[in-house]
Amino acid sequence: MPGLARHDLDALRLKIAALEKRPLLAEGAAMLAERLGRAANDRGENADPLELLAAPNGLLHEVFADEQRQSGAALGFTFGLARQLLTSQRQAVLYLQLMGEGQELGLPYGAGLTQFGIDPARLVIGRIDSMTELLWAMEEAIACRAVAGVIADLASHPKALDFTVSRRLSLRAAAAGTSAFLVRYGRGREASAAKLRWRISPAMSGELPFDPRAPGIPRFQIEIEKGRLGDKTQRAEGKTMLVDWTENGFVSVEPKRRTGTAVHRTAPSSRPVAAPLGHRLSQAG
Amino acid sequence: MRLAAVDAAAAKANLISGQNLSDARALVPDLEVREIDRAYLEQVFADFADWHSNASPIVAVHTAAAPYGDLVLDITGVAHLFGDEQKMLEVLVNRLRALGFTVSGAIADTVGAAWALAHFSSGRIVPRGETEAALASLPIVGLRLEEAQVSGLNQMGLKTIGQLYGRDRRALQARFGETLILRLDQALGRIEERITPRLPIAEYYAERRFAEPIGYMDDVLMTARDLAIQLGLRLEAEGLGAQTFHLLLYRVDHKVMNLTINAGRATRDPNHIAQLFVHRSERLEGEYDAGFGIDMIRLAASSLAEVQSTQLGAFEVQDGAQDLDRLYDRMTSRLGPLALTRSKFVNTHIPERATKLEPVIAQTEDDPEALPDPELRRPLRLLPNPEPINVMAEVPHGPPMRIIWRRIAYRILKASGPERIEAEWWRSGKNLEVLERPERGSKRRDPRDDPKTDTQKPREPEHVSALAAFDPLTTVRDYYIIEDDGGRRFWIFRIGLYGAAEAPRWFLHGFFA
């Protein structure tokens, strides 16, 4: 379409979204575009891709990791995104996995979740027999307005998950304002209606303050492969960034600090945790 | 071998049940004999018993006294629905006779008296207070006694129940055992005899009978919805809700199908209940078989709890908890009760046991003692079964430099540890040994075998073997957090110590983010 400026196209898309009664999507996109624009103006440069990490509700995300052995990083990043969506109205995150893939990828582990900053009581772990049932469960959960996010962790490449299905999920997510995440593994990409696609790889962690030889707090390398939320996000496509997961959420790691000391601790849980044993003993007298 | 039952033709040839088979063969050389199939009879009786719950809510099968069981119905407050007791007995007996069975029945105040009458004076109805007189002329076998007791009593010339009435109870008890007195008292109503009903007794139920049997699942579900509305109104009037609902489908060929759903919290919302049955029916697959049709459907509620009517709107807090409960109910009714789970902490140091998965709709209280120690780093993902790894360039009592896991080598750059976890000495005979896992890809593990799903009772996970004695050398795991040159963070452990009789082995147990 020569002659038609990019922002006109964007405006048109938003108008269509509004006509199709997808107010949440339109609103979210507008909000994000505004925020990105503001961030860009503040720095006088391109939009900071980090802003995308606080994506609005109601989007279908795809999170890709190159290999199954990076399942820890992929899930960590997804939980990071989903945690921001928890509100007092949306109190639960659903994690769905196919039965039998638990040994391939590992199951979310309660004690680790607490340390990562996810309250295990808010995370519902579903292990489901077949892909059809899993997709049904996903749609059902997306339609519930009390769910913050639905995460499907898929070790395999099921045939059932095609473009039509992803479009369905995307529309449902937009209609109910619940975000959906497809966590997948491999380098192949299929056509999908996901608004955002991330490629996650783990990165060498920074140093812990008192133990330089120990693995540090979670650090991910994030590449935005797809950002279809207006032209500003589209411009962020192909960008990579390095982020740490801290108690303040995702924090960008400046290139010069990459080998430096990371001072943040991992995000704390919103629940009370047991005092260390010594403390308990002293209380017991 | 003895005859358990004889048909009319055999009875005409003077054969009786309880007779020796060789005696019977001698009397009737061309006797046709079939072995009694107890499992089948039990099944048929169970089906019959369930089906008879359309006549009375309390139906039981007594198997102690007769070779193929007795059907016991408590008809208190039911008989008037059939007209009177006489008519009820006729209806029940005749509908079984119409199916080609030999039936005898009787109505009396007690189970024991009814049994004696049904077996030895069929078709009688004994009014209240006349039990003693009615039983007096019946043979002593009518008391449901053991064979030895019967022959003993007969030897003493005690042939009828009436002859026992005036006897010295102590002498009878000393001579024939306690059960004689017990049975006598039960028959005469001096001791209450309990009937254990096969189906749960529901105080609240709604039912519908059909003039024409129905067969389609859709019709059944529509009826379930109507019944849910009726039942919901009744429950609302009482300020109650229920967590469990049973949909009993009575087939014309005397079988009862029972669909049960469980809700996360007590409810009486007909839409929700109907929806749960719709999802439950989608999980039925081959189980549903209407046979020749269904002529009655009953919806019963159990696990009742008080549910106060709440005002919606105005100042209500919309925290979505109700929506979530409904979502979990719907998903559970279609995916199965174990599909949706939540992590729960268990008070133990052993990593795979420290968290268990508990169904969302059957929540239990948190154990505050079980909350994990925040100072101990734990992985985000845990493998249900630790996987063995090969460790190269081993440093004694230190983290490995290179490992091979799933046939890929990793160079370890960072490590922290060890965190030593020992077996719980107060549980004798258990250690931290890792058992061989079945071949990968050969067979998917049954979810119920998964130690993490085990919520019913603390069954020991299958990968924890039992050892006769506590052996400190094999009950130590040293956990390390390692990071390879690609930034992958793993949780590995070593079992056994260097210098021990057995070489230490390494396993990978989890992934950090």
- Residue B465 has a pLDDT of 44
- Residue A4 has a pLDDT of 57
**Residue in chain A lying closest to B448 (CA):** A99
Is pLDDT of B471 > 70? no
What's the fold here for domain B204-332?
A: Dna Ligase; domain 1 (3.30.1490)
- B443 in reach of chain A (CB within 8 A): no
| Cβ-based contacts of B447 with chain A (< 8 Å) | 99, 127
Contacts 24+ apart (CB under 8 A), A40-46: A40/A232, A46/A235, A46/A236
Name the pairing type of β-strands B381-392 and A107-108.
antiparallel
A126–B341 CB contact, under 8 Å: yes
pLDDT-derived band at B392, boundaries 50, 70, 90:
confident
Q: B132 versus A275: which is more confidently predicted?
A: B132
Number of Cβ within a 10 Å radius of residue A95: 24
Residue A13: DSSP 8-state: H
| SS3 of residue B427 by DSSP | coil
Residue A258: DSSP 8-state: T
- Residue A141 has a pLDDT of 93
CA end-to-end span of chain B: 71
pLDDT tens readout for residues A114-123: 989 899 999 9
> Can you point out the beta strands (E) in A4-146?
60-65, 92-98, 107-108, 123-128
Query: From the list B440, B450, B513, which residue is nearest A75 (CB)?
Result: B513
- Residue B49 has a pLDDT of 82
| Cβ-based contacts of B440 with chain A (< 8 Å) | 103
> What average pLDDT does this structure show over B291-308?
86
Complex confidence, ipTM? 0.80
pLDDT tens readout for residues B188-232: 888 888 777 777 777 888 989 899 999 888 899 999 999 999 999
**Domain boundaries along the sequence of chain B:** 1-33, 36-188, 204-332, 378-511
> What average pLDDT does this structure show over B173-182?
85
B340–A126 CB contact, under 8 Å: yes
- B327 in reach of chain A (CB within 8 A): yes
Interface of A with B in 8-67 (CB under 8 A): none
Phi, psi of B304 (to 5 degrees): -80, 150
pLDDT tens readout for residues B43-81: 878 888 888 888 888 888 887 766 667 888 888 888 888
Distance CA B420, CA A278 (A): 17
- Residue B260 has a pLDDT of 87
Query: From the list A92, A107, A109, which residue is nearest B324 (CB)?
Result: A92
Interface of A with B in 114-133 (CB under 8 A): 114-116, 120-121, 123-129, 133
Q: B261 versus B122: which is more confidently predicted?
A: B261
Q: B200 versus A273: which is more confidently predicted?
A: B200
pLDDT tens readout for residues A192-236: 888 889 999 999 998 888 888 889 899 999 998 888 776 666 777
Instruction: Tell the residue number behind the tokens 């965190």, with chain if given.
Output: B419
- A242 in reach of chain B (CB within 8 A): no
Domains and CATH numbers, chain A: 49-257 (3.40.50.300)
Query: From the list A140, A202, A214, which residue is nearest B331 (CB)?
Result: A140
The two three-digit tokens of residue B206, written as one number: 């709604």
Of A70-79, A225-234, B271-280, the least confident: A225-234
Distance CA A125, CA A146 (A): 16
Is pLDDT of B258 > 90? no
Is pLDDT of B379 > 90? yes
pLDDT tens readout for residues B311-354: 555 555 556 677 888 889 888 888 888 889 999 898 888 888 88
Q: What is the DSSP string of B111-122?
A: HHHHHHHHHHST
The two three-digit tokens of residue A85, written as one number: 């969506």
pLDDT tens readout for residues B416-454: 988 988 877 776 555 566 666 555 444 433 444 444 433
B489–A273 CB contact, under 8 Å: no
